[in-house]
Amino acid sequence: MTAISSPLVARDEVTRPAAQNPSAGAPELCVIVPTFNECDNVAVLVERLDAVLGAVDWEVIFVDDDSPDGTAERVRALGARDRRVRCLRRIGRRGLSSACIEGVLSTSARFVAVIDGDLQHDESLLPSLLETLKRGGVDVAVASRHVGSGSSEGLSSERRKRLSLYGIRLAQRLLKAEIADPASGFFMLRRELFDDLVPRLSGVGTKILIDLLASSPQPLRVAELPYRFRPRHAGESKLDTFTGIEYMLLLAEKLSHRYFPHRLLLFGLVGATGVVLNLVVLRLLMLSGWVGFTAAEAIATVSAMVSNFFLNNSLTYRDCRLTGWQAIRGLLSFAALCSLGALTTIAVARDLYQFSGMWLLAGFLGAVIGALLNYALTSIFTWKRQT
């Protein structure tokens, strides 16, 4: 029996294509595509990948943040016919960089590429990116808009082009990165290298390449291949004004070697707006003469707390924003925890004042410690995060 069945098994393995063979290893290349509302682009992208990657054993993973337009269903329908097409659907989450990180972590392919899902990147560059890495001596192969014949003509406006250039110059100067297009969202690297770097990544915002370059203890060797950034095929850009702020926060986090995580910085900024709001409301109520000081101060404090909660929910924690009843529950837990922070502030300031006799120092340190406690507690219990 064995004598007969083993040649059969062997023949079967030879004739079946690798992708359908259960004992075949992972594909050589995995293409990660972050998507949010790209339902009209995914099928075209898969077709194009199939056309350009003919000789390569590949798979594609769309990391979709539960797009309301049904992108994930479209991808799964494609995957039902073609096992090279996979979908990673994230619920209650947003974020381009973090989507790319989780996509890479979910593949066993030796090489991983990241490419936008809106067809603005020129997928025909993928084989050359792979060849460049295989030749050796290069850690990251980047499709670049700013070398040789490359261009960023597909950016939606002159203003976007200018902002993009300023952003790139800032990153080059601050991070001392020798790369013409660190803001590129189209690149390839070995999965092994990604695994080494992933514990240091910030995952904030949209610029995962900058995150990778700045997270490496030694400078990464980069090769840039020119391409023309195309105009959008369908749908619209997801980037907004806050994307610029997130970009600054990413640079700050990288420069400070994570001593100031971007969430702590944002939490501090929101806290500062709360102090101003508190004082403005207090002043207005006092001027109106409707209530006495204690009531005015109570109303001002509650206003600041509510405003701080909603600002933090939509900015500091916008990648895991609480909605509906979750937001109400979040507001209540935020208020309770911040009250704990306020009591700590008072206790610390009182003790420091008794010890030093310096009211300004005591008040300041009390406030800083109270704010840090608020940050730590609300991040863990209100938004269920560790940082």
- The residues that touch ligand GDD, with contacts defined as CB under 6 A, are 34-36, 38, 63-65, 94-96, 99, 116-118, 120, 183-186, 206-207, 237-239
Cα–Cα distance measured from residue 107 to residue 189, given in angstroms and rounded to the nearest whole number: 13
Q: What is the DSSP letter of 228?
A: B
Cα–Cα distance measured from residue 101 to residue 91, given in angstroms and rounded to the nearest whole number: 16
Strand partners, 58: 29
Report the 10 Å Cβ neighbour count for 294: 8
* Number of residues in the chain: 387
CA torsion angle for 186, 188, 193, 194 (degrees, to 10)? 40
Residue 67 interacts with Mn ion (CB under 5 A): yes or no: no
Closest to ligand GDD by CB, 95 vs 341, is 95
Q: Which tokens is 154 given? A: 């597909």
Closest to Mn ion by CB, 161 vs 200, is 161
- Residue 212 interacts, among ligand GDD, Mn ion, none and using kind-specific CB cut-offs from 5 to 8 Å, with none
Residue 118 interacts with Mn ion (CB under 5 A): yes or no: yes
Phi, psi dihedrals of residue 94, rounded to the nearest 5°: -140, 155
Residue 120 interacts with Mn ion (CB under 5 A): yes or no: yes
Of the candidate spans 75-83, 115-123, 139-147, 316-324, the one that interacts with Mn ion by CB under 5 A turns out to be 115-123
- Residue 65 interacts, among ligand GDD, Mn ion, none and using kind-specific CB cut-offs from 5 to 8 Å, with ligand GDD
Residue 278 interacts with Mn ion (CB under 5 A): yes or no: no
Q: How far is the CB of 120 from ligand GDD (least distance, A)?
A: 5
Q: How far is the CB of 316 from Mn ion (least distance, A)?
A: 25
Calculate the alpha carbon distances from 321 to 147, 333, 339, 384 in Å.
38, 15, 22, 11
Closest to ligand GDD by CB, 207 vs 321, is 207
Q: What is the DSSP letter of 223?
A: E
Q: How far is the CB of 296 from Mn ion (least distance, A)?
A: 49
- Residue 96 interacts, among ligand GDD, Mn ion, none and using kind-specific CB cut-offs from 5 to 8 Å, with ligand GDD
Chain contacts with Mn ion (rule: CB under 5 A): 118, 120
